[in-house]
Structures are given as C-alpha cells and as structure tokens.
Chains A and B, each alone.
Chain A
C-alpha cells in the first residue's frame, strides 16, 4: 500500500516585547531564577492581569503579514490545569475567538512552490520552567518565563512531507523575525514547534489518527522527528496495528519519538472566558497604525528584486531568506548598480566565507558597501574576477578599504598594451609545443597559453585582452 503523510504545525513564537503579556516584568532571557517574576507572575492572592498593548500589536502585525482576518473583538480564555510551573493553575489563552484567523504562507521545496493555509494564531502566556536536575530529588521552579507573551500559530494539515514541514517552519521563522515580532532564537525557546503527524492510504479522503510531537526546537529535529514518526506509523499500520491519538516527545539522542500521554490522559481544560480581562477590540485606526509600521514583506521584496535588479526568482527567494540578508544585498547592489553580480557575490563568495567562519550576515567582516565597491571595480575593469577574490580576502581580514587594498597589494589589472604584448610574445616563444598543437586544431592548447600569460602577469592581465592578443598573434 502507498501512504500519504499529513502534517500540520503549531508554532509557539515568543513575542519580542520588553515586558510580559499581563505584567510589567522583563522578558529578558537568562536572568537568575525568579528575579523576573512579579506578584502577578507568581500569582499572589489578589493580583490581576493587565494586557500588554505591544503583544497585541505583534499579533496584528502577523495577521496583516499573512493576509489573515483580524477578529475585531477577540477574547481571552482560561485554560485550567495543575502544574507547579503554572502559578495560577490556569493559562490565559484564546480559544473561541483568537485574534488572527486564516491567512497563508508560501513555501518552496525543490522547484515546487506551494501555499500553506493557516488556521489561526492566538495570544497566550508562557508557563515557567520546572528544573528537575540539581535539586536532589526535588524540583526547582523558575517563574522568570511565566507570563512571557506567545503567539501560537496553527497551520492547516496541508504539508505532505517533512521537507514541506521544514520549509513551512523556515518560512514562518523568516516572517516572524522579518516583521520583528520574534527574535527567532530557537535555543532559547523563542520559536518552538509542535508537529501533528498522521498517515493515510493514498486516495483516502479522511485523515488518519494523528499523534502530536511536542516542543521541537530545531529544524533538524523537526525533520528527524517527522521522518521517524511517519516510518513508525506506517510500520505499525502495515503490521496490522492501530494508531492511538497521543502526544509524544522526540528524543534527539535516540532519534525516536516516545509516548508522553494518551488521549485518555488528556486534560479537560475547562476553558471559559477570563472575567479579569475585557474583550480586546481592534479598531481600524489601530490596525492601520500598526500596518504603517510593517516593513516591506518578503514576497513583495522578491518581486521587486526580480524587477529592479534582474535576479532570478530562485535568487530573490534566497536573498530574502532574512531581512538582514536582503538589506545587505540591496545595499551592495545599489553601491555597484550591478544587481546580478551582487547577487552572485552575496550568495557565492560571501555566503561561503560566512558559512566557513560560522558567522551570520549581521556580523559579516565585509560590509555591504565594501562589497559594492569591490563589484564596481570589477565592472570598471580595475579588477578581474580572480583579483577581486584576492581583494575580498583582504577585506575579510580587515586590511582596509577596496582601493587601498588594490593599491597596497598591487592587484590592479594590467592595462598597458605594450607590456602585455611583451609577455604574450615571451610566452609564445617559450611554448612552441602548445602553439603547434593549437595550430593542429586543439583548442585546449589555447587555454593553456592563456593560463601561461595570466601566470606570467601574476594574474593582473585582463583575460579578455589576453584572448584577443593571443588570437591575433596565432592567426
């Protein structure tokens, strides 16, 4: 039997507000335990939540960015369960009336572009952390994270492979960081993915029973967990077993998913509207004011890059992989007025160097302006591509500005025709065998001669000029 995989993702994004969603405490990561937990965060008797306007604006931005419906009246609900790191015994979330409904995100896998629809996105507060190590059989509770604003973003079950799921998660990650509502730091838990995975025989309309893989904090784990889970589900079904609805955890060390709780153990969360919070009303003025703060979105920017800089659709997609990368490219392209060349350099030499040094674009030792100048020097004939790479190395090492490096290292392309003619004549005289072979019809021999001339000029000869001269001499 052939099986089809069905995946939907729920992503918890930590919103990049300075203070918590219902209190004034800081959301900064890494402080000493419980130093960022106020009376509200630890749920002292009598305290009340007050909604952080900034968190709502993050959610509005997201809704606008994905073309979703923003519910003009949305409501906070209480989701009840007992756990030591949930101070109130309930989490404030949104059930029936989330702030964002619908919307879509485009993903590219290989050559195929797909649109994944979103179900909803709602605001909620994060819980604290239970620390099970270091307490000698006891559990430590750190409530610094309690009350951190989250936007839980739920997709439709429209992905059909782990690759699509990863592409969706990456596109979402790009978008939320792009519009500045999330710092995207997956190690610190700012972007956490739950994957609902099921399989069904190809052609079957009804969905199979799903299992939810919780808390995946890297794209690699997301891929591995889904791949394992899909294999496990197919094997189970092919062995005549049944899939029970369950929540599972992925163990990255073993590369396996394992049961956390079954459907029977699922909580009855006893949701009801939080009487401490009024419904959140969005008026048009507020929405428009937030819209005005949105940057140009990746999709619009891709179209513009193709239009303005003549880059391919693929290159435009790569260059808008993050806002920092897109800004870098655009600055470089404008500095040299050579969009395609700039795209090649950014995606080629620069990306390779950054990858090798494990740096991100924001901390590139070569600035976009410097790269732009470098490309301009190729364009005006000062540098050959090869020389330009040497100058790039100089820039990377911090040896100064482009022209200074060219000057200091003597990397200027040879422009004196007389000097070049001498070199060409010397090379022809020294390589009679190659000359003979060329005349006998071997094109390769010509390339060898070009190489010899370049070598003799220590790379400074203009390759086009060398070609021309050689051809003239040999005819």
Chain B
C-alpha cells in the first residue's frame, strides 16, 4: 500500500490511473490481511463496498466527480448506516441493522466516497482505550500489546495501519484526538454544532461532535469540507455559510501567537511527551510563531465536571435501549420490570453501567442542584477561561494526552486512572471549541506522541493552517508502523 494522501488518491482517480473499485479492493485486501490482528473493524462487507465504489466510478466516468469521489473511507460504528450493522460497540445493538443513514454518512455518500466498513469503538463511545467494546479490544498498530486509545480506537488504528485512507470519528471528551495521538495520525473535533449529530448514536448530546481522522491535516481539511453543513434534522446544527477548510492551509505562520496553557505542562505529564511538544513549539517558532504563556485555571475541574455532565446525559440517552423495539432483549424474563433489568444488565457492559448509575444519581431528586447545576456553572467558567486566553493568542497548543499508548489491561481496572487520559482534551468539549491532535514524535518505545491544538469557535481553518505548516516542516505524520508493511 503506497503512502498516499487523499488529494493524491483523488488525482489518480481523476486521471483514471486507478478505479475506485481497484482502490477499494486494495484496501479490502489489506483489511483482510491485517484486521484479524488489529480488530479495527466490527463489520466489513466487501460486496457493499465494491458496489459503492462502482457507483463512484460511474460518477467519475460521467464527469460528475467531486474532489474526493471514489476515495474510500471507514466509518465509526456509532453512525447509523442504512442496511449495515450498526452496533455502537455494544451487545445491546449487536443485531441492529440501521434502516437509515446518519447525516454524516449521507454527506460522504453524496460525495461519492465508498464505505470500507464500520470501525470498532468503546461501547457507546465510553472509554479511552477501546477495551470496553463488546467486539473485543483494538490493538495499536505500532505495537499490538498496546491500546489504540478510544473511543474512536478502531478508526485511529485502521488509518494508522493504512487499512483505510481516512475514517470518521466522534469526540465527546477526546475520543477523536486521544486515539489519533496514540496511533500517530491526525484527527479533528470541530466546533460543536458544525457537523450534524443526526444519526450518530448519542452519548452526551451537548458534547458529542463528529470529525475526520486521517494521516494529515490536509486530509482532514478535505474531509471536513464534506462533513460540515447545516442539517435541519439537528436542532443544535449551526446555520452557517459553507467554508472551504483548505483555503488557509498554505498561509505562512508569521505573527501567529501560540498560547501554551501552563496547567497543561504541569504535574502528570510524561516527560517524553513534554519534550516532544516543546520541540514542536520550537519548530513553530522557526516558522514565525510566537509562544504566549496563558492560564486555563479552571480546566483542572474539567474531569469532575465532565464525569457529572456526560453520564447525566448518557443515562438519559441510553434509556431507549430497553429491549422493547430493537436490539438485544434478554432471552428469559418474568414481568416487564424483569425484562428491563435483565435486558439492560446483560446488554450493557460494566463501563456503560457505571456511567448510567452516576448519571441517574446526579440527576435524582435532591442531588441535581449539588451536582448537575454546579457542574454546568463550572462548565461556563472553563469556557470563560478560553475566551480570556483567545484575547492574547490565536491558537492554544499542548499535549493531547498525558502519555503515550499504555498496555492492554494496564488501566482497565482503575476507572479514574483511565479518565485522567482525557485531562487535556475534555476542556475543549466542555467549551464547545474545536480541537485537533497531530503527531509530533515518538517515545523511547517507538510509540507515537500527539500534540493538541485548540482554536477559537469556527477557527478550524486556522488550526488546519498551523497543523499543515507544521506537517510540511516535519514528517511525523507520514510515518507508518513498520511491522505491518
């Protein structure tokens, strides 16, 4: 599999050097070869993929191709996909074939991009290691003893292993950025409301946001052009003029003010990660950027706030999985209450149940004010910190995760230790800000290190500009795991 960017693949397709079917088949072959070891995909359906690829070829032949027509993509199994098994990584939906397409899926179909399959994920997107999936853990392509991060672990792993040129992910507290960092790829979580959530199985509605995952920032910009846009089916979707996210990629960085939150370089950060991120700052300085010391004082409260609000919304969002209309139902039960409790006890995994319990607790009578309301107030303070910061800088830079990939099973027994992995990513979700992760080095064990950019609202083009300029000066993003070639 050659190292090919989306724009290069699109150019080859346009020049008829390769057909979409051939390209899809090449990726399907690679999936067949590598996926048994990596477990990045829950569902692969070559027949469907090739049909879609043939349709893309027809578009190209008819001269109706768009910028990415014919380029295949893998979709996180959180997006409802008409006629495809859509499990959300859960036993609860192990048999659920979606009867409709999510808005994101519709956009990629309309762009003529065939689906390579549905990628593995933490159950209902709850997890930072992809170990909570009912369909088994995903292995990190850089070292299969290590986790790929989560919850979009399958998406990150399949891109890192070049089983797909790109993938969709979703990010509620870091679920695009953290696995992107741990797998050495680029991933972007847009401003809340930029990408429709319709058809994306809800975890925490006020935080969930879909975004692209691919080797480079340029790829992500092209994918973002496809994904974004107003959707009347999502009341939180923003009605904005269509943007071209590639428009600023080539702008020089002279005069760019990069905010370095001192809280993100403090205790808890792995020294190799700190060094790699500092090296990236130095690189950006060479490109004309100026570092600015900033403070995000309330971000230390981000994890406790997140673990009140996200479970609260999740406990409600997951109430529909009751065994009545679709999905898993316990095979044996007595009365109605028994059917509910057995179905949910058997259909949900431990982490999901933990969060439903937390959520139901913080919303219950007598606790709501102390937890939910209080958390909402702190959420506002965290967002205010960012607003202050953006008065003195154009983009915020720091580590994506406190460390590199950890071993399978290493943290799965300690939820709080696991939650700390999202220390740096959660604040952007709480504030609704765009954030992205891009590769900036490797640790001594050869595991990738990610750096995070957080921009102001709707500054995706600016972030992509910074990332692209960095990626032109470095080659971290272009590296792929050796062992898999």
Contacts and interface: CB of A to CB of B under 8 A. Distances in A.
A42 B372 CA distance: 28
Interface stretch (B33-41, B149-157, B361-369): B361-369
Contact of B199 (A46, A84, A89, A268): A46
A263 to B, nearest CB: 13
Contact of B316 (A80, A87, A277): A80
Contacts, number: 96
B364 A268 contact: yes
Given A276-B236, A277-B235, A46 B368 contact: no
Contacts of A78: 316
Contacts of A80: 316, 319, 363
Interface in A265-291: 268, 270-272, 275-278
A39 interface: yes
B319 A44 contact: no
Interface stretch (B6-14, B98-106, B386-394, B468-476): B98-106
Nearest to B200: A46
Contact of A45 (B80, B204, B206, B322): B80
Contact of B100 (A43, A44, A49): A44
B319 A88 contact: yes
Interface string B307-329: 00000110110011110111000
A207 interface: no
Contacts of B233: 48, 50
Interface in B193-251: 197-202, 204-206, 232-236
A242 B99 CA distance: 54
B235 A89 contact: no
Central interface residue in A88, A270, A276, by most chain B CB within 10 Å = A270
Contacts of A270: 315-316, 360, 363-365, 368
A113 B77 CA distance: 64
Q: Which of the four size classes fits the interface of chain B?
A: 35 or more
B363 A47 contact: no
Interface string A81-93: 0101001111000
A97 to B, nearest CB: 14
A141 B325 CA distance: 9
A265 B198 CA distance: 36
B199 A272 contact: no
A243 interface: no
Contact of A44 (B99, B236, B313, B315): B99
B102 A278 contact: no
B80 A89 contact: no
B424 to A, nearest CB: 23
Given A46-B198, A48-B197, A87 B320 contact: yes
24 contacts: A44-B80, A44-B98, A44-B326, A45-B86, A45-B93, A45-B202, A46-B80, A46-B199, A46-B202, A47-B199, A50-B232, A50-B233, A89-B316, A89-B320, A141-B325, A270-B315, A271-B363, A272-B313, A272-B368, A272-B372, A275-B204, A275-B236, A276-B202, A276-B235
Given A46-B79, A87-B324, 8 more contacts: A39-B99, A44-B326, A45-B326, A48-B234, A48-B235, A268-B365, A275-B236, A277-B235
